Structure formats: C-alpha cells, structure tokens
Amino acid sequence: MSVSFRIRQAFTSSIPAALIASTTVFAGTPASCPNTALSCQNTTAVADTCCFNAPGGLLLQTQFWDTNPPTGPNNSWTVHGLWPDKCDGTYEQYCDRSREYTNISAIISAAGKTELLDYMNTYWKDYQGDDEDFWEHEWDKHGTCISTLEPGCYDNYTPQQEVVAYFQKTVDLFKTLDSYAFLAAKGITPSLTQTYKSNNIEEALAKPRGVQATIRCRDGELDEIWYFYNVRGSVETGQFVPTEPDGAKSNCPEDVKYLPKIGTPPSPPSTTKTSSTGTPPTGTPTPGVPFSGRGTLPVTSGGTTNGCIISGGTWYTTGTCATYTATASGDGFTLTSSKGKCAVANSVLTCAATVTDPTVFTAVADKLAYNGATDFYTGSVPTGSVQAPVSVAQQATTLTIGWKSS
C-alpha cells in the first residue's frame, strides 16, 4: 500500500451549479511571456510571477507504484501530482483557501475535457478508491501554490480555468515520463523474488532525461518517483526543463523490491468426479498432452497469438521468445527458463533462481493450466519494450499460454 510522503487530506468548497450545467467556454487567455527567465536560476527577485514561477519554481511531477491494493494498469505507474517546491526543496501548501474545490471532475467535465477525465480515471488513482478526494487534495495543497496559474495571470479570466490547466499539464507531463518503460529498458521489471540495486534504478531513470530523479521506498519496496523541472515561462504555456533534485533525497535501501501489482486470486476450481464409464462429465476440461522437452510459450489474447512468455515469466510482445524446459513431475510438469524454476507465487507467474518450490502445471486442450484453469490475466496487452506480469488473479486482460516444441 502506498501512502504519500506528504499526507493526503482534502478540504471542501464548491462552485456554482450554473458552471457545471453545461460546457464552460474559457474566455481567458494566459499571460504572454516573451523572453522569460528559467525558474530557480535568478539572482534577484522577479516581479512578474505570472511569467516566472516563484517562490515555487522547482516543479515536481510525482508518480506512484501501488501494489496492494493495486491501482492503474499493471504495466504503468500512476500520477501522484505536480508540486511547486521552492528552489531549496521546501514548499508552501494550501495557498488560496478561496480556490479549494470539492468537484474537480465536474469542473473538468464542464470544460468539455472528457478525454482528460477519462485518462485521469485510469492513471490518476487513489489507493483507497476515492479518486475525487485525491484530485481535490492535489489541487488544494499544490495547485493553488503555482504563481503562474493565479486568476490574475489571465486576461478575461473564467473561474476555474486554471484548475483544468493544472490537471491537463500534469497529465501531459506524465505521458512523457513512462517510468515502467524506463526501468524495463534496463531489465528492471516487477518481481516477487528479485531485488534491484537502488543506484541501478536511479541510473535507468536518469538515462532518458539526462538528470537524476528521486526514488522513494516504503518498507524497502519501490513506491514513488519524483521528477524535477525548472520552467521557462508559465506552467500552462511554458517550457519544462529537466533538472537535478534539490531537497528531499531518495530514501531507498541499497537492495530494493519492485513488486508486481496483484489482485485478489480467483476461487479454486471445483473438483468434478468422472462418471463410472471414465468419460468426463459435460463442462470438464479435456486433458491435453503434457508439455515436455524444450520449447517456447506463445501467448494468445483476444483470439490472436501475440508474443510469448519470456525468461522471467512476463509477457512480451516483441523480441525473441525464451526457451523453456518442461520436466515431468507427478501428474503434470514443471517449467524452467534460463532465469530458473517457475512458480505461481502470490498469484503471479515468476521464474527465478530463488524459486525452490516450482509449481506443477498441467496441460488442458494443449494450453498451460494452473489448478486446472487455462486462463491467465494481466492489466493490459504490453507494447514495445513493456513486459506485463502474468497473474492467475482476474484482471482486465485474459490470455492463454501454449507450447511450441523446439
């Protein structure tokens, strides 16, 4: 479970019903900011805080990795917020009580930003299930402290348009920071058994941007990432320039757990006895030929074969399939890859050298079966360099795993 380093809490306010009854047309335009300086780089005070973020000139795009309960897709981090820290790492909070709102989704909907709200409903999630409260908290505590989003910075200001600008900019920035892919590109993927060196995680996150990010852990588990920026101009229309962290540093141990997102395992399948003639009753899966020897594990999802299970037990849709060895064991067989033996632990398929008690699988109609069931699950179909953890707990995407002898 993730709990923010900065405690989540919400305050209340409201907006007139007339503003949410129909789509709001924002008439206001942000301040024009030609030849602007980069925030936190000034040596003297800058008077125009509509074109220069001050005192909160160090902007942090922060992300969560919630595992239990899980939030968001299992191959993506989720949005925490956009924070305006002072240039020394300290920060202000709750800077304008008159602009604290209790209906963020209504404000965004009234602005006609349905795509933004849909994205937030998937990628900006509260681990306690109260997304609205979480969004209100982020705006009230952090958004109201961004000087370039103050109402006076707009010509012909329309109430709440800066709220929409805050959430839109945060999401736009988050889309450029695919933390899961950054880590996976360096072989750092969620695992129940493997740990990763904290400096290797930091190096993987620094490579795409050229500067460090701050990682945060809870109980030795990777929990948050903070990306730092200075801004040239306003938050809404200016240029975000990656910069080194200033202030809070990483608190992770040398060896870090990066756990997969897991759901609630399905109920064990019921046991059905065969009839006296030995013919399986209707509805009983037809046993298949046990996997044996060496082969690969192709994946089928949505009726289409797409990629395979690679050596760590994750689903990968590009690149070369891993070779597995199937060895007879009891009434079924075990699987071993170059990473080690394979097991379903805490609902997730994992192959690693640390696995000492491999799972005995069976084959049903030529598909891999766990406890008699051939359906496996993941949050979404992986693309590019993304590897998706494979679970026996029900999730959004169903897949089956076959066998291709080599």
Q: Hey, which residues are catalytic here?
A: 80, 138, 142
Angstrom distance (rounded) from CA 337 to CA 184: 19
CA atoms 58, 63, 64, 65: torsion sign: negative
Angstrom distance (rounded) from CA 174 to CA 178: 7
Q: Which H or E run contains 6?
A: none
Helix crossing, 114-123 with 161-175: angle to 10°? Answer: 50
Distances (CA, A) of 28 to 105, 231, 260, 359: 20, 22, 44, 62
Give the bridge partners for 367, in sequence order.
364
Give the bridge partners for 293, in sequence order.
326
Angstrom distance (rounded) from CA 58 to CA 202: 20
Around Cβ 287, how many Cβ atoms within 10 Å?
A: 14
Angstrom distance (rounded) from CA 313 to CA 226: 29
257 token code pair: 């757990």
Query: 258: Cβ–Cβ under 8 A, 6 or more apart, which residues?
Result: 65, 183, 188, 189, 190, 191, 194, 195, 196, 201, 221, 222
Classify burial at 397, counting beta carbons within 10 Å of its beta carbon; exposed 0-12, middle 13-18, buried 19 or more: middle
Angstrom distance (rounded) from CA 303 to CA 290: 22
Q: Using omega within 30 degrees of 0 as the cis cutoff, is the peptide bond preceding 55 cis?
A: yes
